[in-house]
Amino acid sequence: MGFIADSLNRIQPSATIAVSTKARQLKAAGRDIISLSAGEPDFDTPENVKTAAIRAMAAGKTKYTDVDGIPELKAAIVRKFARDNGLDYKPSQISVGTGGKQVIYNALLATLNPGDEVVIPAPCWVSYADIVMLAGAKPVFAETRLEDDYKLKPEALEAAITPKTKWVIFNSPSNPTGAAYSKDEIKTLTDVLLRHEQVWMLSDDIYEHLIYDGLTFHTPASVEPRLMARTLTMNGLSKAYCMTGWRLGYGAGPETLINAMRKLQSQSTSNPCSITQWAAIEALDGPQDFIAKNNEKFVERRDLVVGMLNQANGLRCPKPQGAFYVYPNCAGAMGKTSASGMAIATDADFVTALLEEEGVAVVHGAAFASSPAFRVSYATSNEALEEACRRIQRFCGNLK
Ligand SMILES: Cc1ncc(COP(=O)(O)O)c(C=O)c1O
């Protein structure tokens, strides 16, 4: 028996963080690297939010707070759910954590027992499955298909549910595919859940505001109010408000769940940063017009990247309607050899050779439970994207 706990052997370090770290190290060593691996916008936090943080510090808002959020922030979150989603929550149904990641972590750790199952549509965000496994439970991947723009079909959801299923995790717009579901598409999935009363819905809405082409965002609890009593609607400031480093996420759901999450958080991190919480009120209540401006840039970049990747030999890249990722399939590159003689048997080989030979960092599909593919984050400048896509085209063109 080693010193490290068995539970830690069940999980992997975050692959996206690993790729970003490697790209940063190579850059620091003088290599010409373009990293398309980051899960964060390149835009800065809005000035009014920064000013609110400075004001909070000056006013001495620098002490411990209530474990799962100050009442003023919970009130702002209640207003947000009513305004944006037509959802009517009470402050006692709100939990605020250090990032959306902690909210998801708390919810899963507070509810899962060994043997429980959690259905996760794949491709999926890297952390869901690992958090489930840390809790001793089992992730069950429900496959989506490129032909369906990586959106889950009700039949696939139905087939993945068993008597042991405790949660279904839903994420629209999605990391890593960018897939954004319409109201009708969500309804086909909530209809399935109505037939399985023991199953809870965890809706990860963190990319809510990053939605394009006129599509309107919807969340399962508002599409199917009968699921409210067994849904955790989770969201956060990292993506739309360009606040990844501030660490603030929140969730809303039934009090029994929220109370259990608070108990867990009281014995781990306690409250999220007090200054961030005051700034979050300004983010949620203040002007929102910068979001549309950022989205215009994201759309331009998405179109550029999808166009160029579809011209690369062996790649197929759908055009998604949300987030800042695309997820090209690279089946056409499997079994080939790169210019420097590296054998490409998996998507991990593909991204390793691409980084070595062309200095472009992307994340392999296996990290998102769906291969062979890779994730491109287009949250960077048009110039960097164009150059990176040219290099990817050259890399694919050289495969033999
Ligand atoms: C789908 C998804 N959910 C949750 C998170 C967590 O974000 P944060 O902890 O910064 O709020 C991320 C971040 O990458 C994400 O992509």
Q: Can you tell me which residue has the tokens 């992997």?
A: 12
Q: 360 has which bridge partners?
A: 34
Structure tokens at 305: 């990247």
Its pTM surpasses 0.95: yes
In ligand 1, which atom is closest to the CA atom of 236?
A: 11
Structure tokens at 222: 């508002």
Structure tokens at 138: 């089992």
pLDDT at 254: 98
User: Which residues does a 6 A CB cutoff place in the pocket of ligand 1?
Assistant: 39, 99-101, 125, 171, 175, 204, 206, 236, 238, 244, 249
- Name residue 335's amino acid: G
pLDDT at 5: 92
Centroid of ligand 1 to alpha carbon of 163 (angstroms): 29
Give Cβ neighbours of residue 128 (< 8 Å, ≥ 6 apart): 104, 118, 120, 139, 169
Centroid of ligand 1 to alpha carbon of 206 (angstroms): 6
State the chain's maximal CA–CA distance in angstroms.
Answer: 64
Could you list the mean pLDDT of each consecutive 10-residue stretch along the chain, which spans 400 residues?
Answer: 86 80 88 92 96 98 98 98 98 98 98 98 95 96 97 98 98 98 98 98 98 98 98 98 98 98 98 98 98 97 98 97 98 97 96 94 95 97 97 98
The size of the chain, in residues, is: 400
**Measured in whole angstroms, how far is the alpha carbon of residue 319 from the centre of its chain?**
18
pLDDT at 1: 59
pLDDT at 17: 79
Q: How many whole angstroms separate alpha carbon 347 and alpha carbon 30?
A: 26
Question: Which residue of 16, 105, 206 sits with most ligand 1 atoms within 8 Å of its CB, as the best mutation to test the pocket?
Answer: 206
Q: How many whole angstroms separate alpha carbon 310 and alpha carbon 328?
A: 8
Centroid of ligand 1 to alpha carbon of 344 (angstroms): 30
